[in-house]
A and B are shown apart, each in its own frame.
Chain A
Amino acid sequence: MATIALGLPATISLTRDHVRRGRRVKNQVATIGVVSVFTLALLPLVSVLWTVLTRGLARFDGEFFTNSMRGVLGEGGGAIHAITGTALITGATVIMSVPIGLLTAIYLVEYGKGPFARAVTFLVDVMTGIPSIVAGLFAYAVFSMILGPGVRSGVAGAIALTLLMTPVVIRSCEEMLRLVPQDLREASYALGVSKHRTIRKIVLPTAMSGIVSGVMIGIARVVGETAPLLLVAGFTDSMNTNLFSDRMSTLPVFIYSQWANKGVNAAAYDNRAWTAALVLIAFVLSLNLLSRLVARVFSPKVSR
């Protein structure tokens, strides 16, 4: 009796092979589709990395990292002046844009209400879309107005880059601060902790890993900028460590000028450009790795 009652009709048997086969085929088609699209997207990246690596290694030597291009017309020479310039200008950019960006994000998340906050958000969105050459022209115009036409300096470049980096920092910090659970703020208020201390001691440390990686993304965004720097920081063959006077070379501009103004020995100029590109990529890559490391140090601890 029991077996009859439990006996299932063959049509709804648990092993309906044709249904299983259909599902398996769909699964395989989808897997192949996803993998091939992913490979297609990866192809240019791998190709770029490979080309830069193979061509850039030719001049990846001591001379490249110790010499400038002062008085070099053919082979030899280096990019130390451009590496220094990139480090100085990027550093100045970070010093200017991180405080402005972080404080704006704190304002928007913790204090901002009403039309003013909405206006700030809107302007940040607009700033995110500024073409970099426009930021360069802005910095050029500002410095021309104050110091006379044609003035070029590292700090002008840093101001142009700050214009580009600040909205990126604001956006990512804002997102990270919004991710901090409201529970934690309330827990802190309920302990009789004031709002500014809650932000400083609870909200910021909790969001710190995200903020750090946001800043790193911002740096990666501006470190490869060429157009605004070509315009306002200019180009020089010599070392310049003073942000506030004279032209200052940077890696992207160095790459451009090596490629654009080849001398008699064209191969030497090409090789230097490739090596500079390699250095730039390695710099961005190591920033990414560093941000992951920093994020891990700062991230909330949950392990036992």
Chain B
Amino acid sequence: MKNYLIKKIKQFLPIFLKINNLFFISIIFIYFISRILFIDVEVTFRIYYLFPVSLSLFLFEKSFKKYKNDRKNLSLKLINGLVIIFLIASPITINYSTLIYDGVNKIFLIFGIIFLYFFNFKIKKDFEIERDHEKFLLLSLVILFVIIKIPLLNKSFTGNNTIKYNTYVEPAKYMAESNNLFLVKIKYLADPIKNRDGFDKKLIGIPTLEWFLAITYKIFGLENIEVKTRLATSAIGLLILAASYKIIKKIKNKSTALIFLLLLITNPLFILITQLTTYDSVILLFFLISYLLFLKYEEKNEEKFLFYSSLVFSLSFLSKEVAIIWGLPFFSAYILFSNKTNIKKTITEIFLFSSVIAFSFLIFKIWANSLLYNKLISFIIFAIFSLIVYIISKKASKIFKNINIFSEYLVKKKYLLIILLTILFLLGIFLFKLEIKNWSEFITDKKIIFYWPMYEYIINARQILYISSLIFSTSLLGFFALFIDKSKNTKFKKFIFIFAFGLLVYLILASKVIFFHNYYNINFVYLYLLLSAYFLSIVARNLGLTTKIIFFAVFALLIYKSNREVWKELLITEKSGFTELTEFMIKNNEKDNFYIDNDNTLSISISTDLPRITTLNYPEIQADIKKIGFSETMKKYKIKYLVASQEIDYEKYAPVFTNLDLKKIDSTKRENLILEKFSGSKKEESSREIKGKALQIRNENIFDLETEIGDYKVYNLWND
């Protein structure tokens, strides 16, 4: 029976493959006629669904003929065929529109696959650029970065992400003014009752970005604060570029590194994160430096570099906790897969790396707490810590040897190793539980973990949008090319796979924040661009000079076309009347007057020094309104103006006029917002009482419109 089946399959397979060839070519023709010539063809569009299968069978048939007698190659081709199915099918599953409607992207993808198909046995040698060319190209890339950045330097602190400026520029400004790097004052989060000056007593992370900004302000002065802020963030961008170039040159080659830099410089999201003041650029920089030091350790086998690497990594996650979610899986997997033969060394490395992280975490906690009570003690702790760092780095090799002996002992006595690992694991869980209160803002939970529509949205609207579907498909091609790359240098492959693994963990665990904020996706964009650059460098290697120039010119044009709209929306949007508004506010307010920010996006507290609030829901204010009336209460707490660039949401302010318990009126949580978006269910409507009150406030003109400045409306709260 089995033999009979095989016989039948052998008989019918060539016929089937022949039919498939015709079908494949027909689909291409039909596509060309209907979508490019715009002539109707009477077939259902579902025919395109069969395209991936058909293409891979088509290529399989071609190789089947060629390598009929060479069984080894045949199986490889079959695997290639499967990868191709995965490749083309994945954009369809991720986003139907990326493959069906984006014509250029699709054509590129198909040609790319055919190209790789012809070259899949030839990716053996790396292509090198000559030294003079390298210098010239690097210089022109830096100039390009500067040219892109110059018109953006003077943009005001408005737009979609204005609150980010408040978060970091404000404390840095007060640090520079008071010459005190430990003064954390954030007026945009002031409280009219308990904390009128906006001092922040909690130190969640090391304020590296604030320090950097403060030093910049100290050196260049505080006037034209926008330009100076952007100078600092652009400098971080330049450092990221330099670190990336060094790393990729080390793990791959110069051509890939240069193309990658070009893609990164022209990427809207990268320009955004080096424009905004966010920690995402800082932690990316720290991660890159840490990895660079790790590479140096591997290269020179000097233990102090491993120590430095772990120290810089600790700095990154102490600046912003998110870094540990993708950094730790990355480094642990990297160490595990680097020394396959020597287990002792692996154990030693893991031990050193994790102990440095744990040690610096503990030191930081003690230091941050002591800072509140006694500056001298905190300074002493800081000094001792620096001394320890210095000593360890000097005697790193000796320590390393001792740990090595210890791990040798551990390998011999396996039960000890298991006990130690369990203790480490439990300690990790304990620390995690201790910190989870801070983390619930961004760690995923039962409701949304593995909720597919959310991931789909993230990939489409937060990642593909910012890299364009063209680069997305080239990055898929790059990923495919990794499998057939036969060059001896496997560092690049290892980096990509482990980085992707780290990002997968990140995507699952931190999906809540990745969903809401585009700048959290810079790591993903980094990976996509790297893969894309790798593929483009393979293409460049196999083309003649003229074709190379034409190819890159066309590619650049296509990217420019698809990036243009995203650029406009991300970077050019500005609200009019901002400077006039700040002048008005300074003129008409006393120094300690509060203002209400209706839209949650008004950063005038930086330029006016006025403390900001977003809501009136304080029990004290509620009680006073009942006693002395609204405008008197506002005068008592010195809340003079309400500034809005959108329609006022009266329901937001209504509760304070009612007898409701304000603590129960809670802001909506992130996970519920995500589920609302996809399941169609709307958030609970506010009660009838609040609605009625909102209508009353509106009709009685309790918020009195004083002036309109540009896009902004200013309401006076002191009028009776």
- A complexed with B: no
